[in-house]
Structure 1
Amino acid sequence: MRAIPLFCASVLCALFATAAAAQTAPAAAPPPAAAFFANPAFTGGVLSPSGRYLAAKVDGKTGRDALAVIDLTDKAARVVAGFADADIGTVQWVNDERLLFDTTDKQIAAGAMRFAPGLYTVKHDGSKFRQLAERREYFIRDGSRKDMLPWHTYMMDETGKQDSDYVYVRDIGFAGNTVRSVDLLRLNVATGTTSSVNVPFTAIDWMLDNDGEPRLAHSLDKGKATIWLRDRATDKWRVLASFEAYGPDEHSFEPIGFGPDGTLYARARRDNDQAAIFKIDLQTGTIGTQPVLRVDGFDFSGHLVADATRLLGVRYQGDARDTAWFDPAFKAIQADVDAKLPGTANLIGVPRRPDTPHLLVTAYSDVQPNVYFIYDTATRKLDFVGQAHKDIRAKAMGHQHFVTYAARDGLKIPAMLTLPPGVAANQPGTAPLPKNLPLVVLVHGGPYVRGTYWQWDPEVQFLASRGYAVLQPEFRGSTGYGREHFARGLKQWGLAMQDDIADGARWAIAQGYADPARICIAGASYGGYATLMGLVRNPTLYRCGVAWAGVTDINLMYTGHWRYASDVPEEFKEYGMPQLIGDPVKDAEQLKATSPLQQASRIRQPLLLAYGTADERVPMIHGTRFRDAVKAVNKEVEWIEYEDEGHGWSLPQNRIDFWTRVERFLDRHIGTGRKTATP
């Protein structure tokens, strides 16, 4: 059972002995693509509310992921559930005796997955197994089981109070491929009986309080987002706040969670460029005057860390994930864990019940994929339980560096620079080092997301292990760096957003990191769009491009195509996209000038294109139309089509195949296999 390794008496014997051996071993060939892109061997597991049991996914007898439970008092492990035709998916504890879980299928691509995940429960000893919701063809209703919930019943992200047989689950109403509504059901997992949570509005999201009861709901109508609050005394729902859903609104906030004392915490700006975490007045819906936590240099992103009775701290994302502990005991535990695991960021998971004997620790760094330990609060010992990618050696990875550079209009652009193993970054105040490495400018998707984090990234590290420097610009429009940074990207697809990316490549040249004759631009989704527009606008800067699942025509995002399904909601098309990207009527000329399909004849550099036939976010028509247009003028176009894949590659064999092709493509054009150094 690969996901339940033997427990060690010492952490050093499990993980760091291997690392020490690697330091003295001679340089070896980089790990194969499979080491980076195979499914993780272990994903950490979930502690029961008391901390006594750890639930984890393991290799089952059928070759599928099964569900096992480890009793941490004696390290005994037992497989409690599994299927011959599906893998265990998401797992939660209902209480200290019972689990709730659904399924997935890791052997087929997303487009071929014709069944819903179902819903199941089982006790920690393998008894009382029960199917609660259908796992069957989405649209086949004839002969449905009367003793089960319908296929469109899904688990919530929140676990509830975890002290009874009751949980809340979502009943999702679909309109084609988009979510129309989300109803909430209270489910008894022992009996399968349910009751509905009735509200006078159409909800699209829900939030439970710390007692596990529904307290907040969200609705969306005509570009307005509304947050509804349930009064616990009267059970009535009322509007807590309402604001613009897509554009800037100084009164808006994003609920994060309820503390054990009933306080609502939310992410908000309150007249500041960067978002922080604040308390919300439940009577007026107003934002508190003083932040609870502000992360220097970043918008707050994270969640509360609490048990049943105490708010212990806040988990947040700065340059790396970290925890601000309010509780002195957990501050001391964090210090002890950090001393035992130096060189990694160490995240401590807290079970529901106070004074638990065991904690789950996730350790990671930029060169180390996730490694998992159990921390014994009585003995202060760490036991190794598993790691995500056992064939990755930290010494063979490249370090990541947060950098900033100035765009041509003076805006500071954050970026992540990853250098090949053994290559050091320039130190502040010193002259640039003449590295002149081949550079891949890797553009994130979204684009209205934060694209980079200090962590082990398989795509980035695969490129770095092959000798490439990787620059990931957080161009304007990216979130996580303040309101102004985001707002200056509005309606800037192919314009200032594109200039920020090119300015990053030129910065890397000026710093001595990049050979100006060996730069390739690459990315997926919006990153694929930016790759194509980069080749159009900067033909002498980029020697080649790699684009997968990329948008090629902005107008096609609005109109869609009769042959292909789309999961972009009509609400977003009508109210969001005109503000963020451009109005199809008012900005028609701009959208034409910034659509790669309209400019395909200008692209003469070598190009690698890849699409999934079942992509509903950027349907195949984007790829085929652009492929036909660019091939009319460019003979160096490589086309890859993955059957039944969606917006990205879900199957390991497709990820391995794709990145092996990328490796060969880059080697021919900017690597050691290139024929000439001139564009």
Structure 2
Amino acid sequence: MTRRGKVLGVSIETDARANVWFDKEMQAVQQAVDKQLPGTVNTISVPSQPDAQWVLVRSYSDTRPVTYRAYNKKTDAFVLVGRSRDGIDPARMGRQDPVRYKARDGREIPALLTLPAGGAKKNLPLVMLVHGGPYVRGNHWGWNAETQFLASRGYAVLEPDFRGSRGYGQAHYRAGWKQWGLAMQDDIADGARWAIAQGYADPQRICIAGGSYGGYAALMGLVKDPDLYKCAVNYLGVTDIDLLYDGHWSFKSDMQDDYRIHGMPLLVGDQVKDAAQLKATSPIEQAARITQPVLMAYGASDRRVPLYHGNKFRDAVASHNKQVEWVVYPEEGHGWSQLSTRVDFWGRVEKFLDKHIGAARQVLNKK
């Protein structure tokens, strides 16, 4: 954060975001804001003029969506600018805790654990929610609509930043190179087993879910750990790694050629040298092993992971697995941009989870 070439401070992210100020005046402003707004992360925008009377404050927490306020440095007063989601009641939101657990090889895996607000905190149905990318920082402490939706339905949610995720140092990032379906996948399973050992999760009610790479990991979870996961939700997920390389004129991924030529062989695997590994870690090649319930959703206009990925896998698994739910959203790309899509998709997720690991499943087991 600078003003006229002078560095006033830096923005950092550890378990949560924060501003660290070198400038004494801005540090004093930060302290005054934090005193009035306890319990939230409060990031301050630097005004362009040093004598400016107002600064913009962005505040949020794990239970409170973003609120913007203008703060008067001279009067110590706030003026509300706007709230991102005015109807959210923080008291009904689940608390989100940064946690760490050990993978089977000893690597420390950072994760976010969200438990439902009120009620039991032990022996809950668990959703392992896997981020996309995968070579990004997937999780950021703060209010998250998808996580809170699941928690509001009674699920514990664990979101691991498995090896390969950025933001935790080069060693953690590089440990994920060429580990699709291998150590990266094991990190996710080890998180589920950690949640069981801590007493948070019912070992008989765990589902794995995610979009893009997370959708890929959801399918591979059923392949590698069929006794751990009772079901999977795959939205927009890669089903055939070779398709990311080859594609077709009608369904080629929009990934840049330089990444496909130079990045993917290093990060994912070389299509020639690592052919056996890519085959073994592509869900399409392991479809016969997937017998658990699966919910699959794709966008017909997706250019990152074209619909062909979903069609090809659906056809491969349909002959032996009658528990596959399938939906295509004609106008969506690589993500749900329309409110109607989000409402429909997460409504389907709610019913799917309830049937297989939720309250409906508990009733069924008691009969």
TM-score computed with the length of structure 2 as normaliser: 0.97
Residue 359 (structure 2) pairs with residue 672 (structure 1): yes
- Secondary structure of the 1:664 match is helix
Q: Deviations over 1:350-398 (max 9, x none)?
A: 2212211111111100010001111112211011121000111101100
Alignment of structure 1 residues 237-248 onto 2, 5 Å:
none
For residue 74 of structure 2, what is the amino acid of its counterpart?
A
- Secondary structure of the 1:673 match is helix
- Secondary structure of the 1:471 match is strand
Q: Deviations over 1:201-244 (max 9, x none)?
A: xxxxxxxxxxxxxxxxxxxxxxxxxxxxxxxxxxxxxxxxxxxx
Residue 15 (structure 2) pairs with residue 328 (structure 1): no
Residue 109 (structure 2) pairs with residue 413 (structure 1): yes
The separation in 1 between residues aligned to 2:365 and 2:21, in whole angstroms, is 53
The separation in 2 between residues aligned to 1:517 and 1:500, in whole angstroms, is 19
The separation in 2 between residues aligned to 1:546 and 1:330, in whole angstroms, is 46
For residue 43 of structure 2, what is the amino acid of its counterpart?
L
C-alpha displacement of 1:482: 1.2
CA contact (8 A) 1:309 1:354 kept: no
C-alpha displacement of 1:400: 0.8
TM-score computed with the length of structure 1 as normaliser: 0.53
CA contact (8 A) 2:329 2:341 kept: yes
2:340 matched to which residue of 1? 653
From 260, 280, 296, the equivalent of 1:609 is 296
2:100 matched to which residue of 1? 404
The separation in 1 between residues aligned to 2:6 and 2:136, in whole angstroms, is 32
CA contact (8 A) 2:244 2:253 kept: no
1:311 matched to which residue of 2? 7
Residue 178 (structure 2) pairs with residue 491 (structure 1): yes
From 378, 382, 385, the equivalent of 2:74 is 378
2:260 matched to which residue of 1? 573
CA contact (8 A) 2:246 2:252 kept: no
Residue 46 (structure 2) pairs with residue 350 (structure 1): yes
C-alpha displacement of 1:676: 3.9
- Secondary structure of the 1:395 match is helix
The separation in 1 between residues aligned to 2:56 and 2:91, in whole angstroms, is 26
Residue 309 (structure 2) pairs with residue 622 (structure 1): yes
1:478 matched to which residue of 2? 165
Q: Deviations over 1:49-90 (max 9, x none)?
A: xxxxxxxxxxxxxxxxxxxxxxxxxxxxxxxxxxxxxxxxxx
The separation in 1 between residues aligned to 2:214 and 2:43, in whole angstroms, is 30
2:280 matched to which residue of 1? 593
For residue 382 of structure 1, what is the amino acid of its counterpart?
F
2:34 matched to which residue of 1? 338
The separation in 1 between residues aligned to 2:168 and 2:6, in whole angstroms, is 31
From 434, 445, 451, the equivalent of 2:138 is 451
- Secondary structure of the 1:479 match is coil
1:276 matched to which residue of 2? none
Q: How many pairs were matched up?
A: 365
Alignment of structure 1 residues 30-109 onto 2, 5 Å:
none
- Secondary structure of the 1:379 match is coil
For residue 71 of structure 2, what is the amino acid of its counterpart?
Y
Residue 329 (structure 2) pairs with residue 642 (structure 1): yes
C-alpha displacement of 1:424: 8.5
The separation in 2 between residues aligned to 1:637 and 1:663, in whole angstroms, is 15
Q: Deviations over 1:423-471 (max 9, x none)?
A: 687xxxxxxxxx1000000001111011111111110011011110000
Structure 2 gaps, min length 5: none
CA contact (8 A) 1:498 1:530 kept: yes
C-alpha displacement of 1:539: 0.8
From 420, 429, 439, the equivalent of 2:126 is 439
2:219 matched to which residue of 1? 532
Say if 1:637 and 1:408 are closer, same or farther in 2 by CA, change over 3 A.
same
**Greater C-alpha Rg:** 1
Q: Deviations over 1:91-131 (max 9, x none)?
A: xxxxxxxxxxxxxxxxxxxxxxxxxxxxxxxxxxxxxxxxx
The separation in 2 between residues aligned to 1:394 and 1:441, in whole angstroms, is 23
Of all paired residues, the percent bearing the same amino acid is 59
- Secondary structure of the 1:489 match is coil
For residue 410 of structure 1, what is the amino acid of its counterpart?
G
Alignment of structure 1 residues 248-267 onto 2, 5 Å:
none
CA contact (8 A) 2:223 2:286 kept: yes
C-alpha displacement of 1:309: 5.3
CA contact (8 A) 2:95 2:117 kept: yes
For residue 610 of structure 1, what is the amino acid of its counterpart?
A
CA contact (8 A) 1:517 1:677 kept: no
Residue 58 (structure 2) pairs with residue 362 (structure 1): yes
- Secondary structure of the 2:352 match is helix
2:243 matched to which residue of 1? 556
The separation in 1 between residues aligned to 2:84 and 2:15, in whole angstroms, is 22
Structure 1 gaps, min length 5: 1-304, 426-434
Q: Deviations over 1:7-65 (max 9, x none)?
A: xxxxxxxxxxxxxxxxxxxxxxxxxxxxxxxxxxxxxxxxxxxxxxxxxxxxxxxxxxx
For residue 363 of structure 1, what is the amino acid of its counterpart?
S
From 118, 125, 136, the equivalent of 1:422 is 118
CA contact (8 A) 2:302 2:333 kept: yes
CA contact (8 A) 1:604 1:633 kept: yes
For residue 444 of structure 1, what is the amino acid of its counterpart?
H
The separation in 1 between residues aligned to 2:227 and 2:216, in whole angstroms, is 18
The separation in 2 between residues aligned to 1:659 and 1:529, in whole angstroms, is 18
For residue 613 of structure 1, what is the amino acid of its counterpart?
A
CA contact (8 A) 1:398 1:418 kept: yes
- Secondary structure of the 1:392 match is coil
The separation in 1 between residues aligned to 2:252 and 2:290, in whole angstroms, is 29
C-alpha displacement of 1:422: 2.5
CA contact (8 A) 1:418 1:464 kept: yes
C-alpha displacement of 1:489: 1.1
CA contact (8 A) 2:207 2:232 kept: yes
CA contact (8 A) 2:299 2:329 kept: yes
The separation in 2 between residues aligned to 1:504 and 1:677, in whole angstroms, is 25
The separation in 2 between residues aligned to 1:530 and 1:677, in whole angstroms, is 28
CA contact (8 A) 1:518 1:677 kept: no
RMSD: 1.3
CA contact (8 A) 2:60 2:67 kept: yes
Identify which range, 550-559 or 484-493, moves more after superposition. 484-493
The separation in 2 between residues aligned to 1:315 and 1:579, in whole angstroms, is 30
1:166 matched to which residue of 2? none
Higher strand share: 1
